[in-house]
Amino acid sequence: MASDGAELIEPEEHARIFAALEGLLSTPAFSPLAQALNFVVIRGTYEEFMVIFNMSAMDRGRHRLLLRAADLIRGLDSSVVSAFLVIDPSRSPYYLETDMPRGSFPIKRLFGPERFRLRVGAAVFSVPPTSFSQVNESILPLLVDNARSLMAGGMGERLLDLYCGYGLFAFSLEPGYREVVAVDAALSSVRAGSDMAAHARGRSSRIRFLAAAIERRSLETLLPPPLMPDEEDVILDPPRRGADRTVIASIARRRPGRVLHLFCAADEIPEAIGRWRSCGYFVRRAVSLDMFAGTPQLETMVLLTPA
């Protein structure tokens, strides 16, 4: 933290939004809202902000107070373009994660557009506020460039993008493949990706988005039949709980030529690599990026190929 209390790893506007809400919520009149508030989450880019009120409970009285809080931040000179309500009665310690599949949160829009615009190099993505998205916008071009480099040299027939979110890797790696199949459990993310693919069909988009939980049964029933060995590549960027062992086994049975597995915490890596080794896949390269500035965690990309 800076000496004046400003946060060093977030835009200055975030501090102004949080300070304004803290002042409001600390008043007696807003106590019912404050007591039910789990988190205030700011999503978006460095230029556009979407505020999510994560609440444990909601009733008419709290809803009236919430609308007043939304009016407050809408009036700030801080590029707040939207506000949303998410209900999480479990009071999960994760600000947008409960026992539900990643991204499947009941959400209500209070005002503003339903998606924010994320620029990664020359590409522009349309991202729902609850869609999984890497939080460090400035490092996304490097993340995508490393993915392209690690996956280069394959047959270029098909890419399976599992835990695809809104399609960051699907769209970024599409030019290297004849076909891309992108899968995620979050309906809002899949709809956003499908909308972007439909918009790009004038440019012959080759991406197909599917909404399904990433598990053994869905991989075996929803995905197209495997291609010949080495003709299919896989990229998977699972949530913090990691990829289940049955998922890794199902992918390995397809015998892809390259698997790019992303990890957001180093302590997840040994167990997952052990599972891949038992399926005949071995580490060829690994790249770590400081995606989570100010924390001890790194985003690690691991390229695996069969023996």
Which residue in this structure is represented by tokens 């729902």? 128
Name which of 129, 144, 17, 113 is nearest 72 in CA terms: 17
In a domain, 25, yes or no: yes
Distances (CA, A) of 142 to 145, 147, 170, 276: 5, 9, 16, 26
User: Does the predicted TM-score (pTM) go above 0.75?
Assistant: yes
In a domain, 5, yes or no: no
Which residue in this structure is represented by tokens 């992303």? 262
Name which of 188, 243, 192 is nearest 218 in CA terms: 243
In a domain, 259, yes or no: yes
pLDDT computed for residue 280 by the predictor: 97
Name which of 101, 88, 19 is nearest 52 in CA terms: 88
In a domain, 6, yes or no: no
Q: Whole-angstrom Cα distance, residue 111 to residue 246?
A: 41
* DSSP state, residue 238: -
* DSSP state, residue 97: B
- Regarding whether 17 and 99 lie in a shared domain, the answer is yes
Q: What are phi and psi of 13, to 5 degrees?
A: -60, -30
- Band of the pLDDT at 177, cuts 50, 70, 90? very high
- Band of the pLDDT at 46, cuts 50, 70, 90? confident
* Domain final residue, candidates 79, 114, 149: 114
Indicate the number of domains in the chain.
2
- Band of the pLDDT at 2, cuts 50, 70, 90? very low
| pLDDT of 152 higher than 60 | yes
Name which of 251, 252, 266, 257 is nearest 284 in CA terms: 257
- 241, with CB counted inside 10 A (0-12, 13-18, 19+), is exposed
Q: Residues 81-137: pLDDT tens digits? A: 999 999 988 888 766 654 444 444 578 999 999 998 898 988 889 998 888 777 788
- Regarding whether 162 and 301 lie in a shared domain, the answer is yes
pLDDT computed for residue 218 by the predictor: 87
- Band of the pLDDT at 77, cuts 50, 70, 90? confident
- Regarding whether 260 and 189 lie in a shared domain, the answer is yes
For the segment 157-163, the average pLDDT, to the nearest whole number, is: 96
Full domain range(s) for residue 210: 119-306
- Band of the pLDDT at 198, cuts 50, 70, 90? confident
Q: Specify the pairing of strand 116-120 against strand 37-44.
A: unpaired
- 248, with CB counted inside 10 A (0-12, 13-18, 19+), is buried
- Regarding whether 135 and 202 lie in a shared domain, the answer is yes
Q: Which CATH number belongs to the domain containing residue 175 in this structure?
A: 3.40.50.150
- Regarding whether 164 and 57 lie in a shared domain, the answer is no
In a domain, 62, yes or no: yes
Q: Whole-angstrom Cα distance, residue 54 to residue 39?
A: 5
- Regarding whether 268 and 148 lie in a shared domain, the answer is yes
- Regarding whether 145 and 91 lie in a shared domain, the answer is no
- Band of the pLDDT at 204, cuts 50, 70, 90? low
The average confidence (pLDDT) of the chain is: 88
In a domain, 272, yes or no: yes
Which residue in this structure is represented by tokens 């597995």? 261
Which range of 14-28, 75-89, 186-200 scores highest in mean pLDDT? It is 14-28
pLDDT computed for residue 203 by the predictor: 53
Rounded-to-10 torsion of CA 139, 141, 143, 146: -140
Q: Whole-angstrom Cα distance, residue 108 to residue 245?
A: 35
- Regarding whether 148 and 47 lie in a shared domain, the answer is no
In a domain, 197, yes or no: yes
Residues of the chain with pLDDT > 70: what percent? 91
Strand order in the sheet with 179-184: 207-211, 179-184, 158-162, 232-236, 258-263, 299-306, 281-289
**Range from 9-18, 142-151, 264-273 carrying the lowest mean pLDDT:** 9-18
* Domain final residue, candidates 83, 114, 145: 114
For the segment 68-87, the average pLDDT, to the nearest whole number, is: 91
* Exposure b/e, 258-282, CB count within 10 A at least 16 = b: bbbbbbbeeebbeebbebbeebebe
- Regarding whether 297 and 155 lie in a shared domain, the answer is yes
By three-state DSSP, how is residue 240 classified?
A: coil
- Regarding whether 201 and 105 lie in a shared domain, the answer is no
Q: Which CATH number belongs to the domain containing residue 45 in this structure?
A: 3.30.70
In a domain, 236, yes or no: yes
* Domain final residue, candidates 114, 130, 164: 114
Q: Whole-angstrom Cα distance, residue 123 to residue 168?
A: 9
Which residue in this structure is represented by tokens 């373009």? 81
- Regarding whether 60 and 190 lie in a shared domain, the answer is no
**Range from 20-34, 61-75, 128-142, 258-272 carrying the lowest mean pLDDT:** 128-142
- Regarding whether 129 and 90 lie in a shared domain, the answer is no
For the segment 296-301, the average pLDDT, to the nearest whole number, is: 87
**272 CB-near residues (< 8 Å, 6+ apart):** 242, 243, 248, 261, 263
pLDDT computed for residue 92 by the predictor: 80
